Structure formats: C-alpha cells, structure tokens
C-alpha cells in the first residue's frame, strides 16, 4: 500500500500499462486513482516528482493515455453518482 503525497489517499494496489503484471520499482510512475496526480515510486512509497520528472511524465504518451482513461472513468463515476 502507498499513500498519495497530494491527497493522502491510501492506494491498496497498483497495476501497470502493458500485458504483463509488474511489481513497481523505484523511479516508476504512479497515477493516484483518487486525485489523478502523478507520483514516483521510491523506497516502497510514492513521492512527488521534481520538475524534470514531471516534464518526462507529461511528455510520455503512455502516461497521457492513462490520464485520458482516468478522466473518462471519473466522468462515468460522476454520472453514476448523479443517477443514484
């Protein structure tokens, strides 16, 4: 489990983009499912990226696709909440 350095959400599980299940390593990127901010795995926890790392994340096409999916999931969640 890791805690988001932005919103404090405890993320109990992690997954990766790709066909093979992976264990996160130091330096891997992490998107918080609760707030949508990017973090960096380090020493078993998540820290905020520095400016250079953030630019790398924002220029990474896979990260941008993950962000797009996260936004769509949040839209569906809001619609579902509105109907209930």
Interaction site with Zn ion (CB under 5 A): 4, 6-7, 9, 32, 34-35
Shortest reach from residue 34's CB to Zn ion, in Å:
5
User: Shortest approach of Zn ion to residue 46 CB, angstroms?
Assistant: 9
Nearest approach in angstroms of CB 83 to Zn ion is 25
Tokens coding 58: 């924002």
Q: Which is nearer to Zn ion, 1 or 20 (CB)?
A: 1
Residue 31, classed as helix, strand or coil, is strand
CA distance 25 to 13: 14
Spatial separation of the C-alpha atoms in residues 55 and 29, rounded to whole Å: 12
How far apart, in whole angstroms, are the C-alpha atoms of residue 34 and residue 12? 12
Q: Which is nearer to Zn ion, 3 or 60 (CB)?
A: 3
CB 3 within 8 A of CB 10: yes
**Whose Cβ is closer to Zn ion: residue 34's or residue 63's?**
34
């Amino acid at each position: 489990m890791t805690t988001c350095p932005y919103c404090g959400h405890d993320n109990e599980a992690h997954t990766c983009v790709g066909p093979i299940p992976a264990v996160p390593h130091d330096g891997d990127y992490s998107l918080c499912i609760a707030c949508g901010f990017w973090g960096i795995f380090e020493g078993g926890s998540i820290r905020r990226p520095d400016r250079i790392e953030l630019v790398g994340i924002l220029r990474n096409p896979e990260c941008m696709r993950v962000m797009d999916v996260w936004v769509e999931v949040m839209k569906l969640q809001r619609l579902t909440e509105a109907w209930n």
